[in-house]
Amino acid sequence: MKELSGSQSDLLREIGNIGAGNAATAISTMLDRKVEITVPSVKLMEISRIPFVLPEPESIVTGVRMGIKGDIEGDLLLILDSKASKIILRVLLGMEPEDITNLDEMSRSALREIGNIMCGTYASALADFMGFHLDTIPPDITIDMVSAIISEVSLGVAAEEDMIIFIETNLKIHQEKPVEAYMFLIPKPGYLSKIFERMGVK
């Protein structure tokens, strides 16, 4: 399967929007500002195509990776570009770094927690909606070129040709310009079919 049908896409987008709504509530409390998170689309794509989703595939980004295990095994990966990372840090910590390559531990921890919330709420929405039992593994954070982050994920989870689910995500913090976040569900081999089977798609 290379593409989602309209009904599959709608169902996965609904799961994404449930997770996004819960994430927005939690992040709003964390930032003490209104936060809106929406999911315009969900797509099926090869893992090797992830870097080309970003406007600048070779740029330095923040990657937060959360392992999932249980009925579905694999990773949830949130990628924030430099602009999004800087805005979040300015709102949360009151200072914006010149670049994100040399962040202190407090800044890294703050971005990790944003990723923890966004990945965790999506995992919960997926579990609740599909009736899966899922456990999450505390996330780690990597700041590097997106291609390097994907190579690391691929080694542990999937081959380059394996299909993953891309959840396009828009993040709007009150009084800030909207930014894009990039969420990926990267199942281990064989587990993507379990999701489609649960959706009634063989």
The CA-atom distances, in angstroms, between 28 and each of 24, 33, 47, 95, 114 are 6, 5, 31, 18, 11
Give the pTM.
Answer: 0.91
Q: Which residue has the tokens 């602009």?
A: 83
Question: CATH assignment of 6-198, given 3.40.1550.10, 3.40.190.10, 2.70.98.10, 3.40.50.300?
Answer: 3.40.1550.10
42-46 vs 163-173, strand pairing mode: antiparallel
pLDDT in tens, 176-190: 999 999 999 998 888
**Highest averaged pLDDT of the listed ranges 10-19, 54-63, 111-120, 155-164:** 111-120
Q: How high is the pLDDT of residue 62?
A: 96
Amino acid in the structure at residue 100: I
Which tokens hold the place of 194?
């379990």
Q: Residue ranges of the domains in the chain? A: 6-198
